Structure 1
């Protein structure tokens, strides 16, 4: 058998009648694929590189914005609402075995921590009051916040209730806003409540020095700390040399007074005053 015949028998089935198979015609070869022109390849390459560069730039920009603070992004800065920048707050350590004022083991709601450590610290940028530096103060210093005509009656009440300690801290902000905070601790919750009842009446409170009267602060949303009560007052119009705000927090055996004022016609607004009152309330609760 020749090479041609062997090749034919391998690719063509034998004739059923035994006749030799006809010649096999090979299928035509596919036409060659034309190669793209070089300039087309260069154009595609350029567009691919451009897409990668733009994609990388966009991803980097998105990551950069996501990692920035809101106030660092132009157009997304949030205008300050007047709040001050206080340091991180934490409750002071208690004597060994002493409970917190509102725990189950402290029915009398006594603050066993050092009263000076429960004072709200001054915010960033403040100038400390040298007289009210966070230490102990006298009854006379506390009474000096009230109108002179009101001091004798309040003084007699303090003599009868005999507060254990009075701690105070004060500061002034760069815009001239002055804040003073007093914490008065008594031997029982009843004495703290008695003093508060003598200071406040329906819709008003004992006026502070430099003011003629007070009205309820209608912007105050109330206390959020369980077990405590807050009462907030504003100065009646027309204001004197400074608009004076005062707020009280009664928390167990301790009464807090927060005073804020600013001389001149411009007013700091109620936000920093309410902020100080809320934070002081949290420290006492």
Structure 2
């Protein structure tokens, strides 16, 4: 997929030094060469915008930026035409950290621990969404997370989360006017190693040991590129195999240091355009975790 839906990080434009003037001549008969004009401000702003886009989409942003936005279409190269189905997310900002705490993917944080409140790392609902009252951006119990999976698999998965218990689970959900139901779960564990163990037990990246309820047959989304994950952690996108039922399920797992994210979209029908807001949601949630 050539189009990219993610938000861009705010990057301050670098200062541009004035062009050097030519050395004055010693002969009064020869006029001085005038200094080269400064580039127009409009051009500087354009360069800054494109530089920001290159940094974000080149994977160089590792969580040190102070803000993230849902990118304006004209600022990001390679986006599809207007009406591509992207959702209008609000401007996003990374939450404040306790004094002296580093961000998760910096050299000062070798353990890749998220020190921010997990609830503040959840992606907010886009414009036009109807919030899910049960998944309102706060803490949820383990049973609510397990309810995403098939009933016959929940006991085994519950045992896994007993053996490797998450410290917290935060979740947010909403429904869009087109009927798409979105849910995001963030599970924070004691360490990045614990997340790796859970990933291996779930079969993430290989095959799904425990599929979601209503989406028993899934395949890795061939349009999802690993470069769209934030540098420092893994992200896998899957899509329900045909024939789907009344809704088409897409899901993604992201392993971000000590935090595991599950992102689910269920769209009535089989509209191919549903892939675009789904990948947009994954990218933006990944950036908040990075």
1:254 to 255, 259, 269: 259
C-alpha distance 248-70 of structure 1, shift in aligned 2 (>3 A)? closer
Deviation at 1:124, TM superposition (A): 0.5
Contact 1:262 / 1:268 at 8 angstroms: preserved in 2? no
CA RMSD of the aligned region, Å?
2.0
Contact 1:187 / 1:253 at 8 angstroms: preserved in 2? yes
2:109 to 106, 115, 124: 106
Contact 2:204 / 2:253 at 8 angstroms: preserved in 1? no
Q: Which segment drifts farther, 163-172 or 191-200?
A: 191-200
Q: Name the counterpart of 1:174.
A: 177
In structure 1, C-alpha distance between the alignment counterparts of 2:73 and 2:273, rounded to whole Å? 25
In structure 1, C-alpha distance between the alignment counterparts of 2:92 and 2:109, rounded to whole Å? 23
In structure 2, C-alpha distance between the alignment counterparts of 1:138 and 1:114, rounded to whole Å? 17
Q: Name the counterpart of 2:225.
A: 221
Deviation at 1:194, TM superposition (A): 1.3
Q: Name the counterpart of 1:121.
A: 124
Larger relative contact order (Cα-Cα within 8 Å, sequence gap ≥ 6): 2
Give the TM-score, by structure 1 length: 0.70
Q: Alignment partner of 2:85: what SS?
A: coil
Q: Alignment partner of 2:157: what SS?
A: helix
Contact 2:205 / 2:236 at 8 angstroms: preserved in 1? no
C-alpha distance 123-114 of structure 1, shift in aligned 2 (>3 A)? same
Q: Which residues in structure 2 correspond to 1:51-62 (within 5 Å)?
A: none
In terms of fraction of residues, the more helix-rich structure is: 1
Q: Alignment partner of 2:92: what SS?
A: coil
Deviation at 1:235, TM superposition (A): 0.8
User: Which consecutive unaligned segments of at least 5 residues does structure 2 have?
Assistant: 1-71, 75-80
Residue 159 (str. 1) matches residue 173 (str. 2): no
Q: Alignment partner of 1:276: what SS?
A: helix
Aligned residue pair count = 212
Q: Which segment drifts farther, 199-208 or 84-93?
A: 199-208
Residue 79 (str. 1) matches residue 82 (str. 2): yes
C-alpha distance 157-203 of structure 1, shift in aligned 2 (>3 A)? closer
Residue 204 (str. 1) matches residue 207 (str. 2): yes
In structure 1, C-alpha distance between the alignment counterparts of 2:90 and 2:214, rounded to whole Å? 31
Quick check: which has more Rg, 1 or 2? 1
In structure 2, C-alpha distance between the alignment counterparts of 1:150 and 1:219, rounded to whole Å? 29
Residue 184 (str. 1) matches residue 187 (str. 2): yes
In structure 1, C-alpha distance between the alignment counterparts of 2:175 and 2:191, rounded to whole Å? 33
Contact 1:116 / 1:136 at 8 angstroms: preserved in 2? yes
Deviation at 1:269, TM superposition (A): 2.1
C-alpha distance 267-178 of structure 1, shift in aligned 2 (>3 A)? farther
Contact 1:86 / 1:121 at 8 angstroms: preserved in 2? yes
Contact 2:102 / 2:115 at 8 angstroms: preserved in 1? yes
Give the TM-score, by structure 2 length: 0.69
In structure 2, C-alpha distance between the alignment counterparts of 1:176 and 1:161, rounded to whole Å? 35
**Structure 1 runs of 4+ with >4 Å offset:** 265-268
Deviation at 1:201, TM superposition (A): 5.2
In structure 1, C-alpha distance between the alignment counterparts of 2:116 and 2:104, rounded to whole Å? 9
User: Which consecutive unaligned segments of at least 5 residues does structure 1 have?
Assistant: 1-68, 72-77
In structure 2, C-alpha distance between the alignment counterparts of 1:70 and 1:172, rounded to whole Å? 24
Deviation at 1:118, TM superposition (A): 0.1
In structure 1, C-alpha distance between the alignment counterparts of 2:115 and 2:289, rounded to whole Å? 11
In structure 1, C-alpha distance between the alignment counterparts of 2:73 and 2:114, rounded to whole Å? 40
Deviation at 1:265, TM superposition (A): 4.9
